A and B are shown apart, each in its own frame.
Chain A
Amino acid sequence: MEKQEYLEIVDSKSKTPNILENAFISFLVGGLLGGLFEILTTWLINLFELSEQVALGWSLLTFIGIAILLTGFGVFDTLISKFRFGLIIPITGFAHSIASSLLDYKRDGLITGLGSNMFKLAGCVILYGTVSAFICAIVKVIIYG
């Protein structure tokens, strides 16, 4: 098969992403999680009389726990491929990235597998979060004192 011909076939087979549909699905799923998070947090504040900070922490932990549990059962990968950024941008995506790299490298052993590969995907979030937060904090100190 000639190269030109091959490229034409690849072009005709590969789908162009449906931007509007993907954006709408992400909006709906992300929004749903946001609404649930709001309900859970106000519920925790009212029922257990927690402070805002503690209630937010517990809600985040709940979402993280559910995401990791679903990743362990193998459900979350299919959910992510369907709903994509509705699940990647909330904290669930961060939890999923750590849990899935832990599961992927489990066969390499506890130290060389789990230990050294844990932050393979989530490392970028922690690295750039820390660096940018450090710089921004210095800028804020300079501006506000």
Chain B
Amino acid sequence: MNYLQTHNRNAFSQRRGLWGSVAAFVIIIIFVQFLEPHFLPAIFTTFARPFWRAEFSISSGSLRSPASLLNQNEELKRQLADMTVRLETTQSVANENSELKTLLNRPSATATNANTATSSAAAALLSLVPSKYTLAAVLKRPPMAPYDELIIDLGQDDGVAVNDLVYAPGNILIGSISDTLGQTSKVALFSSSGMTYDVLIANNSNPGNNSADLKPALFKSVPAVAHGLGGGQFSVQVPRDIVVNVGDIVTVPSINNKTIGIVGGVITDPAQPFETVLFTSLANIYELRWALVDTKTDSVINVANIPSRTSAAIAPVTKNAKK
């Protein structure tokens, strides 16, 4: 007598095998990641990098016609001439700045930079020279890259290390290296959600007749703690009595005053003793195509409240071991 099969043992064991292999796969990945954290990122990045580079080249205009490239070249030459004039003006201001620092017995450019703390003003200027930066192409940026990070085409082979500072063109501080592989690195933007930093909000209000308004701008800077909101946005809470205006510059507290953003809005609630200041990075990270990596100094930003992230000092510290 034949009976209908009530239980398909074969299908059951197949399902169990499938779940077993998925579980084994996940356990192997966790194990590999635990032992060698760069193994999986290096493998997948090796495959993805050529596509990222190709995409970057295409977006940079590599496939344009020679005529349009020549036109662009001319336009860039004109812009360069214009920028050279502006740079000379900036350099004269930088010279004046270093002379003033020398007069005030602060010849070094940074507060704790022992190696550059020489007596000449030239040492102060030296750290302002952009040649210490290494230019990097931004291969991936938000919103396509998640976690509010950039992927740049410089890695350990180029001398990039974790915690190196990253600037947008124009010397705008935007983030620091969070992880580095052979030829690519991940840049954690300071605006990443959940990150907090010490900042100074420089009051730009016009001085009035009151003699207190004639104090130097340095004394009008408001110290505060900035919270990253993601996408180049930050928020700060300050007491309501402190006057903060739209357009005020936000800097990282050090003698170099690295600009981090500009105030875009102030939210005041009469029922609250604090007002919320919203500021945004001066560089548009969604359109960022180039970045400058400071491979000679370590990270700056005082990370006050980031779960399991490395805290670093406020002032840049010269790397003795590197280069």
Chains A and B bind each other: no
